[in-house]
Amino acid sequence: MATNLAIDDRLLNEALEIGGYKSKKDTVNAALEEFIKRRKTNDLINIFGTIEYDSSYDYKKMRSQ
């Protein structure tokens, strides 16, 4: 899918240099992947402490079955 985006050249060139990528396309794709991973990680962090576990569950017992 061809797109025409107005991307800040200064930011793109800095990301290209820092990331060591060979093309602007590789740089943008890597940035998008990192953005998605960070957002998903934040979603996981936000659920910490919100899940109640069954205190009688014995995971060691389940391993031996």
**Closest by CA position to 15, among listed 1, 2, 38, 33:** 33
> What local confidence, expressed as pLDDT, does residue 18 receive?
96
User: pLDDT digit string (tens) for 56-65?
Assistant: 888 888 787 6
Q: What is the pTM of this model?
A: 0.64
pLDDT (tens digit per residue) in 7-32: 999 999 999 999 999 999 999 999 99
Question: DSSP letters along 8-33, please?
Answer: -HHHHHHHHHHHT-SSHHHHHHHHHH
At 48 the pLDDT is 83
What distance in Å separates the CA atoms of residue 17 and residue 24, rounded to the nearest whole number?
A: 10
How long a stretch of residues is the chain?
Answer: 65
Ranges of each domain in the chain: 8-47
